[in-house]
Structure 1
Amino acid sequence: MEFAIFCTKVNILIIIIALCSPCKFIQSPIDFGPPNMLQAKNTLSLDFGRIIFDSPSAVLRPQSPEDISLLLTSLFASSFSKVTVAARGAGHSIRGQAQALDGIVIEMDSIPSNIYIHKRGHDEEGFSYADVSGGAMWIELLEESLKFGLSPRSWTDYLYLSIGGTLSNGGISGQTFKHGPQISNVLQLDVVTGKGDLITCSPTKSSELFYAVLGGLGQFGIITRARILLQEAPQKVKWVRAFYDDFDAFTMDQELLISMPDLVDYLEGFIIPNEPSLLSSSIAFPAHLDSMPPFLSEGGSSKVYYCIEFAVYDFQVRDTNVEQVVEKITSQMSYKAPFIYSVEVSYFDFLNRVSMEEISLRSRGLWEVPHPWLNMFVPKSGIKEFKCLLMDNIAVNEFEGPILIYPLLRDKWHTNTSIVLPQASTCSEEDEQVFYIVGVLQSTNPASCSAQCLDGILRRNRRIVEAASTEKIGAKQYLPHHPSLMHWHNHFGRHWNRFVAHKNLFDPLGILAPGQGIFSRIHASTL
């Protein structure tokens, strides 16, 4: 069954008839649009991960949230349809999460971005905020908000992701320890549920839907508009990198820096297993590294290093000396002298730093390749053991790509959202507040890594997940992918019943987000 949907109500009704018809009515793609739509449909079986390739039967390019509502209302009303629907933003998923095998993929970027900035003066009540379409990208919101001297508080490292996509997962970066994830910086949402209901929700209006959708993996509704909290944007950023050869010193300094939110505005860290990894992670850092840590020890074996990356925002306020702030911070750190570097860049260039790495990877043919990434939330109590587990399972000399590792604070995350955080089994109340994100962001070059090689990396990642998910470490996947319902049940743990209850309330037929592999599609007649 191959056809494409365009954004008129007539075409939506035609496709619903075609998909739901017991006689399996089939149409050609060119009957509903130009011939290149077939290529577009095939493209939607791809994502950034390039690991799963589930092709949809149809593509919807809506012009308004009402088009999405009409589609889902009709599918929900059908007593015999088993069609599923996935919303696709920028296509940056890793394991087919935004794909719908033989179903319908909704291209969210076809809805006009419609970014509206609401700036409040110092003498006015309330917050500055932006109303923005769910399919718009964060880079678009940044560019528009900066015209007003404003910016969202919390980011992802890569800005060419959709608003709705990151809010469905969490949205984290180096500002998360200070302002929380992106899902903690949302004031209001417009959501189309699996029943087709178009609902405006907030912490005080339809709050159960609001919190369920945030971090909900697309299971309960499609975000069509978000109201994002804004703050004053700095002019420049002082960007610092310091290197370590001792993991304990590295993590102690990271935890020191997140205890200074009045001084530090951004904090991330890296495990650097080899010299190419250092070079690839330094592409966006515009400083000449006139000396580098010696990656080969005297005995000839490879040495692993660690890097703390932090930033201080410069608002160009006369009574604030950014250099003195940086000196106050670094004087308390225990980095490996003399390996510390600093640069001053514009705020926009700092936030958009990963785009330079994208350009480099594209030039080397390493962007549109499989990305068997692994992201884990790890309690502070288990981070050292997890590091050992990770380093025991990767080929240090051959690994290509960054390994992110930096601490977050639990009290910056709303507990009512759907996201799952790790629970340390035995630690003090103070330690329980700290957990780490570890991102193993590996690229595989098909010229040197065959399908068998890629499968081996995926099996390695699964072994790490299984070992790290035990009570001894207590880790949880971020951007999760699990092979079975049992694994999903274990992932959500004590929150599983709440997650199921929300599914039954907002998408009882299991129409939405089939690529996550959590729930099965059911007939309306079985309810």
Structure 2
Amino acid sequence: MSEEAWPYAADSDPASLDAASADFGHLIRRRPAAVCRPGSAQDVAAAVRWAAGRRMPVAARGQGHSVYGRAQAGGGLVIDMSELGAVHAVEADRVTAGGGATWRSVLDAALPHGLTPPVLTDYLDLSVGGSVSAGGVGGMTFRHGFQSCNVVELEVVTGEGEIVTCSASTHAGLFDAVRAGLSQYGIITRAVLRLVRAPELVRLHTLFYPDHRAMTADQRRLLSTGRVDYLEGAIRPHPPGWQHVIEAGVWHAADSPPDDDETLAGLSDLRARAESVDLPYPELFRRLSKLESSLRAAGTWHDPHPWLHSFIPDASADDLVAELLTDLRQEDLGEFGRLLLYPIHPGRARTPLMRLPEGEVAFLCGFVRFPADDPSLTDRLVKANRTAYDRIRAVGGHLYPVSAVALTQADWKDHYGPWWPAVENAKARFDPRHLLTPGQGMFPDSP
């Protein structure tokens, strides 16, 4: 598509603008001037150059699962990446996918070859470009790092409208800036992703605990022993109190089941309540689709989602969670909500811009909220997110910036700490006009 033939008016119909004004969070609305649906990296580059010529902000939109307006561009151009959703060649250890492809489509393409991405998010209907730009965390992160750590190569359109192929050995500065770079330096149009052998089955153990301290103690044990391949935890509303649960999965084949006694040895769970089941490997990651179906059927899928995710240091985790629970009401999460809590190894993260606590172990701490659609409640929860974030920051934790928290540039400087000069330099190098993704609020002088 040539810049001269850019169909500006054709992409400014009210339905397109309304759709691009909102996201999964349903908390922030910013109406763009136009929406385009490019079919190639060249189209994306032309769109960015076209917007640059008009000093218009630009935001790429994958599946629209941002929760706080991060992929919106008020008065600017939203680039809908859905036409770049194809999955291409599957090779022995890698797969090539468009930036708009979902992880569901990547998994579906890889499994017939007996392969899988090393790390999958619990919800598969996120775009490859979106989650690599954020980091991408899941139940295998403790072993394999983030999704952004398992990228071989990227094709990126910079804020200058240039198409650049980058990797750890070619244009490494751009490669390191774009992975977990929150779409500040470029738009991912194609990704080459690492693959590993996929297991046939998963033995999934659901373990129950009397409190979160017992739960995290066993998570640390499982982390140190290497007995499991998948490890998460959650605190769920369970009137009149809370339910504390670990989900631990072990990969295996039908003809060689794991030894449950060995897997669970030394754990302090309420063993009489433990549940163990064998699942086909892909079913482990399709469970949230059932929840989505239930929420859509109930008409609540499009309610506000004031979520908050962070990484907290191991040394402060138990006391901090106790403090957060003191102020948390069950209605703040909703019937289907939970407080995620599961361990990772920060040292295994190979993405420079992921901000993680110091130490051998840290915990993802995430408020997954499905509250009632009540504006006053939603406003209170967004304010509560800020209070929780300040507590987390005070003990050496870091925000996972896919959260419903408004951040000033001063907050971003604090977030990146000694990395802030590198962030500024990357912005100046790859997006000098400050066009890309203004919804993050990182560079408030964006047009």
Q: TM-score range by the shorter chain?
A: over 0.9
| Residue in structure 1 matching 2:360, options 430, 433, 448 | 433
Once the two structures are overlaid, the 10-residue window that deviates more, 376-385 or 105-114, is 105-114
Q: Distance in 2 between matches of 1:159 and 1:397?
A: 26
Report the secondary structure of 1:130's partner residue.
strand
**Alignment match of 1:466 (pick from 390, 405, 412):** 390
Cross-structure match for 2:347: 411
Q: Distance in 2 between matches of 1:321 and 1:93?
A: 39
SS of aligned partner of 2:419:
helix
2:414 alignment partner AA: N
The 5-angstrom pairing of residues 168-187 of structure 1 reads 168-187=133-152
Question: 1:158 is aligned with what amino acid?
Answer: Y
Equivalent of 1:49, from 25, 32, 43?
25
Q: In structure 1, how many angstroms separate the alpha carbons of the residues matched to 2:302 and 2:182?
A: 24
Distance 1:186 1:142 in 2: 15
The DSSP-based 3-state class of the residue aligned with 2:207 is strand
- How far does residue 339 in structure 1 lie from its aligned partner after superposition? 1.3
| Distance in 2 between residues matched to 1:182 and 1:398, nearest whole Å | 29
Aligned residues: 443
Separation in structure 1 between the aligned mates of residue 99 and residue 119 of structure 2, nearest angstrom: 16
Task: Give the superposition deviation at 1:494.
Answer: 1.5
Question: Does residue 151 in structure 1 map to residue 110 in structure 2?
Answer: no
> SS at 1:273's partner residue?
strand
CA distance in 1, matches of 2:90, 2:28: 38
Secondary structure of the structure 1 residue equivalent to 2:96: strand
Q: Is the 8 A contact 1:155 1:172 kept in 2?
A: yes
SS of structure 1 residue aligned to 2:418: helix
Deviations 1:467-493 (A, max 9, x none): 2211xx111110254331111111111
Distance 1:264 1:314 in 2: 11
In the alignment, does 2:72 pair up with 1:96?
A: no
Letter in 2 for 1:189: L
Normalising by structure 1, what TM-score? 0.81
**2:233 equivalent to 1:269:** yes
Distance 2:316 2:290 in 1: 33
Work out the CA distance in 2 between the residues paired with 1:220 and 1:458: 28
Question: Does the 8 A contact of 2:333 with 2:367 survive in 1?
Answer: no
Question: Cα offset for 1:10?
Answer: 4.3
TM-score computed with the length of structure 2 as normaliser: 0.95
- Local SS of the residue matching 2:341: strand
Deviation string for 1:201-224 (max 9, x for gaps)? Answer: 000100010011000000000000
Alpha carbon RMSD of aligned pairs, Å? 1.7
* Deviation (angstroms), 1:315: 3.1
Q: Partners in 2 of 1:198 and 1:399 — Cα distance?
A: 42
| Contact in 2 for aligned 1:85/1:106 (Cα 8 Å) | yes
Q: Is the 8 A contact 2:332 2:381 kept in 1?
A: no
Counterpart in 2 of 1:396? 330
The runs of 5 or more residues in structure 2 that have no matched partner are none
Alignment of 1:321-332 (within 5 A): 321-322=257-258, 324=259, 326-332=260-266
> Is contact 2:310–2:366 with CA below 8 Å preserved after alignment?
yes
2:63 is the alignment partner of 1:105: no
Give secondary structure in 2 for the equivalent of 1:469: helix
Unaligned 5+ runs, structure 1: 1-6, 16-28, 120-127, 276-301, 424-431
**Is the strand fraction higher in 1 or 2?**
2
1:384 aligns to 2:318 (yes or no): yes
Cα distance 1:350–1:112, how it changes in 2: closer, same or farther (>3 A)? Answer: closer
Q: Aligned with 2:246: secondary structure? A: strand
Identify the residue that residue 65 of structure 1 maps to in structure 2. 41
| Residue type at the aligned position of 1:474 | G
Percent of residue pairs bearing the same amino acid type: 34
